[in-house]
Amino acid sequence: MAHRVTFIPGDGIGPEVAWAARRCLEATGVAFAWDERPAGEAAIKAFNTPLPPDTLASIRETRVAIKGPVTTPIGTGFRSVNVALRKALNLYACLRPCRSFEGVRSPWRDVDLVVVRENTEDLYAGIEFPAKDEQTLTLIKQLKEWTQQPIQDDAAISIKPISRTASERIIRFACDYALAHGRKKVTAIHKANIMKYTDGLFMETARRVGEAYRGRLTVEDRLVDATCMQLVLKPQDFDVLVLPNLYGDILSDLCAGLIGGLGVAPGANLGDGVAVFEAVHGSAPKYAGQNKVNPTAMILSGVLLLEHLGEREAAARLERAVRDVLREGRAVTYDLKADRNDPAAVGTKEMAAAIAERLRHDKVPV
Ligand code: NAD
């Protein structure tokens, strides 16, 4: 029977990379029944909201979606559709595998790590107070009284909730993922030496949860700043990383850089029984509509989708097709060429077509 999947093209470069991924997913021979739904700018035009209730309802029903990136205007306008989706569907875990690709220029050849980011709380919880607002001034006055700490009266304030519940849930998720995927080590990342209560709680939880995995996994913890340096110097020392939301967002991009950039970094947002697959990169508006950007990250997010659906053989074939095309380095987009102005670079559609074509010649189960 066909897999029912909600298909959200997104905006900016979203539709181009989402359709490229859809084309490659269909080329695996797996049957899909797509339910296409808008989000972002297209949805604002048609429904006056960036995240129409029907889009959410569709994901609630199909339990699985693949989504192109969506633009979040900075400072003004609507809050992030991505954050809203994660909250509404309780997609508490963000999974971002980073593996080196032959043929892709990068500082390292043998990176193989997985970033697991907590998706629901931390400074990304959206609890913010604008500068000079009446409520903010009241809050500042109260905080000064409670803490005896100086805070400028014209400060804006963001709240960083880190709970034992969400920390334990994400650390267990990372450990269970590590065990299920034959990985050996989970490193919990924090800044507990400075943020003793919030990051301290995350660190303590990692140590406590880690005890339950003793003998099966190494569970360690490290400071976020030291980890950034170590990742750049020796990424081979890491296996699965588990982080609160903000550090997770930043280190995902850092790790994408270790394997050749955002163009090749896939991702998944997972909750209990619901999953939304999307690239790490955003909507890169300056490239929208040019058939120029790299579809690899979205196509590899499609590989994660296939694995989630239990289509392991098709997932392996699609990943192999992507790796083959990257290794050959011919039918690839500008960002993967040694010279970004190389006239031999192909477009988004053409790269997806090359991967789909490769799949047609690879029908042998792995
Ligand atoms: P971005 O990832 O969209 O783009 C940054 C740069 O990375 C681009 O200018 C481009 O040079 C490169 N890049 C990104 N994707 C690429 C691809 N597929 N192929 C080749 N090069 C690629 O980041 P940004 O400019 O900070 O964000 C643009 C918008 O996207 C913002 O509104 C942001 O909020 C949003 N965003 C959305 C998501 C999402 O929907 N999940 C994720 C991140 C950012």
Specify the pLDDT at position 363. Answer: 62
Q: Is position 156 within any domain? A: no
**How many whole angstroms separate alpha carbon 187 and alpha carbon 145?**
38
Ligand 1 contact, 219 CB (< 6 A) = no
In a domain, 241, yes or no: no
Q: Does any ligand 1 atom lie closer than 6 A to the CB of residue 262?
A: yes
Please choose from 66, 281, 326, 333 the residue to mutate so as to test ligand 1's pocket, defined by most ligand atoms within 8 A of CB: 281
For 261, the token pair is 């950039």
pLDDT at position 179: 97
Q: Domain for residue 266, yes or no?
A: yes
> Catalytic site residues?
124, 191, 225, 249
Give, using CA atoms, the residue closest to atom 40 of ligand 1. Answer: 69
**What whole-number distance in Å separates Cα of residue 170 and Cα of residue 270?**
11
pLDDT, residue 83, reads 83
- C-alpha of residue 206 to centroid of ligand 1, in Å: 31
* CATH number, residue 90: 3.40.718.10
284 part of a folded domain: yes
Q: Is-contact 104 256, C-beta < 8 A? A: no
Q: Atom 1, ligand 1: which residue's CA is nearest?
A: 282
pLDDT at 165: 98
270 occurs within a structural domain: yes
78: in domain: yes
> What is the chain's pLDDT, residue by residue, as a tens digit (366 residues)?
899 999 999 999 999 999 999 999 999 999 999 999 999 998 988 898 899 999 999 999 999 999 999 998 765 566 788 888 988 999 999 999 999 999 999 989 999 999 999 999 999 888 999 999 999 999 999 999 999 999 999 999 999 999 999 999 999 999 999 999 999 999 999 999 999 999 999 999 999 999 999 999 999 999 999 999 999 999 999 999 999 999 999 999 999 999 999 999 999 999 999 999 999 999 999 999 999 999 999 999 999 999 999 999 999 999 999 999 999 999 999 999 989 999 999 999 999 999 999 998 876 554
The structure tokens 């006055």 sit at: 141
Q: Do the strands 185-190 and 218-223 form a parallel or antiparallel pair, or are they unpaired?
A: parallel
Q: Please check whether residue 205 lies inside any domain of the structure.
A: no
Domain ranges, residue 65: 1-103+261-366
183 in any annotated domain: no
* Beta strand ranges found along the chain (DSSP E): 3-8, 32-36, 64-67, 93-99, 112-118, 128-129, 157-158, 185-190, 218-223, 240-243, 268-270, 275-277
- Predicted structure pTM score: 0.92
Distance, in Å, from the CA atom of 295 to the CA atom of 75, rounded to the nearest integer, reads 29
Please report, to the nearest 10 degrees, the dihedral formed by the alpha carbons of residues 244, 250, 253, 255 taken in order: -60
Among protein residues, the one with the nearest Cα to ligand 1's atom 27 is: 282
Determine whether the shortest distance from the Cβ of 106 to ligand 1 is under 6 A. no
Domain total of the chain: 1
Nearest residue by C-alpha to atom 16 in ligand 1: 263
What pLDDT sits at residue 366?
A: 45
